[in-house]
Amino acid sequence: MLATYVLLELVVHARRVLIWAVIALLLAVSLHPAVEALRRRVPRCRRSVATLLVFLAAAVAVGAVVAVFVIPLAQEGSRLAGRLPGLIRDAQAGRGPVGHVLERTHALRYVQRHQAQIRAFATGLSTPALRFVRGVATTATGALTVFVLAYLMVLEGPKAIDRSLALVDAAPAARIRRVGAACARTVNGYLTGNLLISLICGLLTYVMLLVSGVPFAGLLALFVAVTDLIPLVGATIGAVVASAVAFVHSLPAGIGAVVFFIVYQQAENHLLQPFVLSRTVRLNPLTVLLAILIAAEVAGILGALLAIPVTGIIQVVLGDLWAHRRGRPLRLPMSVANGPEDAEGTGDAE
């Protein structure tokens, strides 16, 4: 009883590190096939070198995506800073697009009557701003930690697995390798399916914004595609930002964007996501939808993130147990059975 209590307390206090470790594990599983593919193409390439090259390529890809956002935002931010005094004067006088909106909605009168309260509210924003800065620092630290953990998992994980399996007999070790390969395939299928769904979301968003004439359609579509990777709230964040920019452009474009995102998110949550993930993870669409809903209700965003891979892993393990009870070993596709997981025992010598 005491040991259980201590373990629960440890999990509660170390939950942030545990979350980072889980995300790092997903990243390591997704990048491990690339490391093995590089080693197969370059036979003399050491694991350490292949791992370093793959992670450097991943870092460059992430940096390129960040640069695509940061450079246009910096340029537009400098333009906005130069135009901001004029916009404020026009808004106060009821001129310009912002001023007309404020005048029509009677918001300008409210601002003029409550200037003291607005100044007090703006002054009180220092604490949330400080929290935001701290949040950014924590996020950067977490991203770096996840990257380092994933790198070490890919680099040292196969050796640790080989040493652990050397402690058991050959038949159970082979069975564990087969099940582990199937579980890794499930996780990779989930990640691939999630990326495919986000790509579809980004392309459809780009077409919608392009037809509506909204500026920076490509940048906004990329932002929506990236945020769509975040379970539960990601699609909403992308939709709100894109719709806000569309409203600034014109009222019809904003209304069209809102209608598009409402229809698309319903289709993605109830049709596209269950269908794609049922093909990549090989789960029944109903199982996919129920797993996401239940996990999101129990554990929030983290639960939604892990719902599909965990459900797929449970299906693999239960299938293996059922097959062995009937005397029929779990059969895997050749691409999995002969994949990098099976080759680790013989190909890790450096």
Torsion of the alpha carbons at 172, 35, 56 and 184, rounded to the nearest 10: -40
Distance CA 159, CA 44 (A): 18
Which pLDDT band, with edges at 50, 70 and 90, does 18 fall under? confident
- Residue 110's pLDDT is 60
How far is the C-alpha of 227 from the C-alpha of 19, rounded, in Å? 19
| C-alpha count within 13 angstroms, C-beta hemisphere, residue 168 | 11
pLDDT in tens, 235-285: 888 899 899 888 888 888 889 999 999 999 888 888 887 788 777 777 777
Q: What is the pLDDT of residue 349?
A: 40
**Confidence at residue 208, expressed as pLDDT on a 0 to 100 scale:** 92
The confidence band for 16, taking pLDDT boundaries of 50, 70 and 90, is confident
pLDDT score for 45: 83
Count of CB atoms within 10 A of residue 229's CB?
16
- The reported pLDDT for the residue numbered 90 is 60
Length of the chain: 350
Short-list 307, 214, 303, 296, CA closest to 261: 214
Query: For the range 106-109, what are the long-range contacts, defined as Cβ-Cβ under 8 Å and sequence gap of 24 or more?
Result: none
33-37 contacts: CB < 8 A, separation 24 or more?
33/188, 33/339, 33/340, 35/154, 35/340, 36/339, 36/340, 36/343, 37/340
CA distance 117 to 120: 5
State whether residue 223 is helix, strand or coil: helix
Query: Do 294 and 222 form a contact (C-beta atoms < 8 A)?
Result: no
Task: Determine the pLDDT at residue 281.
Answer: 78
- DSSP annotation of 329 reads P
Token readout for 254 is: 């904003």
CA-to-CA distance for 144 and 291, rounded, in angstroms?
A: 30
Lowest mean pLDDT among 103-112, 131-140, 166-175, 266-275: 103-112
- Assess whether pLDDT exceeds 70 at residue 40: yes
And the tokens for 189?
A: 């299928």
Q: Which of 65-69, 72-76, 92-96, 240-244 has the lowest mean pLDDT?
A: 92-96
Given a contact cutoff of 8 angstroms between Cβ atoms, the answer to whether 153 and 28 are in contact is yes
Give residue for tokens 């697009």.
Answer: 97
**For range 146-150, the mean pLDDT:** 89
Residue 337: alpha-carbon gap to chain centroid? 28
Name which of 91-100, 164-173, 258-267, 310-319 the model is least confident about. Answer: 91-100
Instruction: With cut-offs at 50, 70 and 90, classify the pLDDT of residue 68.
Output: confident
Which residue intervals of 114-125 are DSSP H helices? 115-123
Query: What integer best gives the mean pLDDT of the chain?
Result: 76
According to the model, what pLDDT value does residue 21 have?
85
